[in-house]
Amino acid sequence: MADSPARSRFSDRLTSRRGAWVALGVAVVVMVALFGVFSGAKAPTGVGQASVGSESTQVSELMDRFPNADRQSVLVVASREDGADLSKTDVAELKSLLPVLDARQGGESSGPMVSEDGKVGVLVTPVTVAADNTEMAQTIKELRAELGANTPPGLVLQVTGGPAFGADVAAAFEGADFTLLMVTILIVAVLLIVTYRSPVLWLIPLIVIALADGLAGRVTAAAGSAWNLQFDAGIVSVLVFGAGTNYALLLISRYREELQRTEDDRAALSTAWRQTVPAILASNVTVVLALLTLLFATIPMTRGLGVPAALGLLIALLAVLFVLPPFLAVCGRRVFWPFVPRPGREQTQGRAWRAVAGGVSERPLTSLMAGLALLAVMASGLFGTSVGLDQLEKFRVESESQTGLQTLSAHFPPGEAQPIWIVADSGAARDVAAAASKVEGVVRAHPAGQTDDGSLTKVMVTSGYSPGTDESLAQITELRDAVHPIQGADALVGGAVATELDARAGSERDLLLIAPLVLAVSFLVLLALLRSLVAPVLLLLVNLTSAVATIGAGAWLSRALLGQSALDLQVPILAFLFLVALGIDYTIFLVHRARAEAGRLGTRAGMVEAVAHTGSVITSAGIVLAAVFAALGVLPLVTLGQLGLIVGIGVLVDTLVVRTVIVPAIFALVGDRIWWPGKLPAHQVDARREPRAELVDVH
């Protein structure tokens, strides 16, 4: 792409002696102002799992109309340390805890209910549900401390139930975001040091990207609060660090390449900025637009991620394009010490990549078949893959609420801790309860309260199936089939298991909608960048194949190595989005350079030259991004661990196999027709026979 006079003037001023200091000064003022403006921003803490219009969500909204809607039951599960039956004395001592619970919670506690085998007793105490899980965590913590101080000798007390689960999730994440940030910074720092082999250079992009991440965290929190968006801040942070580092690697590698051609380091930096801006912009636009397709999703946590993540990437882009260059300009060539690039020095680091690309170009069909065979083996992991984890499987860190539920399920009907709720018109409530009682697996169903105006009644249904199992999910469908036809009831079935069922259906719909949109966005960006129809189609097919293969490999590794029976609901859609959009990043880095070289050397030799120049930077960027995503594994949520594993594998496969073997093989096989309907300038095509002899370092 030819440099426009305006772009040349801008880059020259941005990197000039005076302009660099002015740019840094403006950047500092803007960042300080924005940090101040958004310092108090706090994102919403809700976790909406099912679609907004789903039946379970409607039930949740209707339940707010009942008296004491802000209060939910917490279960205190009691058993003996030695596993023996509860004695009459044990039961009496448990009953003596009721005043203790009432004094703290201000409600009417009940129990103990003793299991049929006599081994477990349950106390039920209502608690006021807090505005967010952090407040709820403090309430549950205080309750557990009170029970700990009053636990009868020989007994074990475990607090479980819906509010306790939410509290334990919040407790598990205490300090987790800080840990993720520190691990991410450490990973990026180590990899940058290895990449640049300089004790100084790595600090510059790391400082710039860390500042961008800090600002992105505040801006996205404000956006989430303003638009009531639910999202995981850890994913946004990983994207900012990963993509920002990739952009910085591309810019600095081209800067180093230009320093080997001129003694004027500011001119070299200006040229590098102009040459890399189109690829960086195309890369950023692809991922940003792909993320914005999440606005069409129906699951709140999926839809809510799109805008914050897009904002984070835009902030990373601005930091790398307008803060990093003047920072580098002020530091000058010496920032690469001790390996300072200078004109005339022989460079050999592109030799290995040139040899690989040359070998692929000489045997393109064999190379292509080998690469596709590897992807096929990876894709075989999809066989036997299921989607959806139950509540006990979603967290890597064992909690008291989990162990309490396991104890409860072993001695009571498994659905006792998470009842199914049916909301119906009061006039037909008994008919609804009777119909629900006849559904297979239902232990009991009975009316459990009315709204203040008496128009609605909630029916509590206790299931004999463990929540989240296939049987319990099928039971929700059977309950709906049983109560929906009742005349005048307008019955709706909700509760935790119904929410899980609706979430699975919503996630499937979202995947079928979002996946084609992501592919369409990627195609349009490649179309605009390459001005070709053939190349975007082939590259997108390769990317799609790689993404599917990686999800298969990640699913198999989750089962075989991590013992996770299935992928969590959000993993397929988010993994597909990141694999395709981020994979297109590396395609853009490579093919943008290949098109520029093809105008001089022809398509086949131009691709060899492009791999020689970009192989090192793409590999470095891929390793950084894979490692940063792998850092999600430090968080307690299985969803994030699985996402980090799959995207990490995918990025490595993309950089080491797809960009190094498959794409060059395709370009060698198709030749100049890859640019159809565009074509290379006729007077330059004859120069295609051999790539340039000189070797240029791209690090």
Residue 687 has pLDDT above 60, yes or no: no
Dihedral in degrees, nearest 10, Cα atoms 647, 650, 656, 661: -150
β strands within 116-260, DSSP E: 120-128, 155-160
Structure-token match 């920002």, residue found: 244
Residue 184 backbone phi and psi in degrees, to 5: -65, -45
Structure-token match 């981020």, residue found: 582
What gap in Å lies between CA 559 and CA 642, rounded to an integer? 11
Amino acid 352: pLDDT: 84
Residue 158 backbone phi and psi in degrees, to 5: -125, 130
Amino acid 267: pLDDT: 93
Amino acid 107: pLDDT: 66
Q: What's the gap between Cα 510 and its chain centre?
A: 15
Q: First-to-last CA distance in the chain?
A: 22
Q: Share the mean pLDDT of the chain.
A: 87
Amino acid 316: pLDDT: 96
Give the pLDDT band (50/70/90) at residue 74.
confident
Tokens describing residue 514: 């979002």
Rg (CA), the chain: 30
3-state secondary structure 403-456: HHHHHHHHHCCHHHCCCEEEEEEHHHHHHHHHHHHCCCCEEEEEEEEECCCCCE
Q: Is residue 76 a contact partner of residue 144, using CB atoms and an 8 Å limit?
A: no
Q: Give the residue ranges of DSSP H helices in 531-561.
A: 534-560
Q: Is residue 86 a contact partner of residue 176, using CB atoms and an 8 Å limit?
A: no
What gap in Å lies between CA 155 and CA 95, rounded to an integer? 13
Give the pLDDT band (50/70/90) at residue 197.
confident
- Of 157 and 131, more confident: 157
- Note the pLDDT tens digit of each residue in 38-65: 987 787 766 667 888 899 999 999 998 9
Residue 415 backbone phi and psi in degrees, to 5: -85, 5
Q: What's the rounded mean pLDDT across residues 598-613?
A: 87
Indicate the pTM of the whole model.
Answer: 0.84
Alpha-carbon separation of residue 664 from 529, 597, 667 (angstroms)? 18, 13, 5
Residue 468 backbone phi and psi in degrees, to 5: 90, -10
Amino acid 47: pLDDT: 62
What number of other Cβ atoms are within 10 A of residue 69's Cβ? 13
- Note the pLDDT tens digit of each residue in 285-321: 999 999 999 999 999 888 999 999 999 999 999 999 9
Q: In the Cβ-directed half-sphere of 226, how many Cα atoms lie within 13 Å? A: 11
What gap in Å lies between CA 266 and CA 263, rounded to an integer? 9
Residue 395 has pLDDT above 80, yes or no: no
Lowest mean pLDDT among 14-18, 403-407, 633-637: 633-637
- Note the pLDDT tens digit of each residue in 459-498: 999 998 888 888 999 999 999 999 999 999 999 999 989 9
Lowest mean pLDDT among 3-12, 138-147, 199-208: 3-12
Amino acid 688: pLDDT: 37
Give the pLDDT band (50/70/90) at residue 128.
confident
Residue 674 is inside which H or E element, if any? none
Q: Is 677 exposed, middle or buried (0-12, 13-18, 19+ CB in 10 A)?
A: exposed
3-state secondary structure 287-343: HHHHHHHHHHCCCHHHHHHHHHHHHHHHHHHHHHHHCHHHHHHHHCHHHHCCCCCCC
- Note the pLDDT tens digit of each residue in 207-263: 999 999 999 999 999 999 888 888 888 889 989 998 999 899 889 988 988 998 888
Lowest mean pLDDT among 109-123, 551-565, 589-603: 589-603
- Of 599 and 99, more confident: 99
Q: Is residue 295 a contact partner of residue 306, using CB atoms and an 8 Å limit?
A: yes
Residue 698 has pLDDT above 70, yes or no: no
What gap in Å lies between CA 174 and CA 181, rounded to an integer? 13
Please report, rounded to a whole number, the percentage of residues in the chain having pLDDT higher than 70. Answer: 93
Give the pLDDT band (50/70/90) at residue 157.
very high
Residue 288 backbone phi and psi in degrees, to 5: -60, -50
Tokens describing residue 546: 């790689």
Alpha-carbon separation of residue 105 from 99, 140, 531 (angstroms)? 10, 10, 67
- Of 386 and 174, more confident: 386
DSSP string for 148-167: HHHPPTTEEEEEESHHHHHH
Amino acid 1: pLDDT: 47
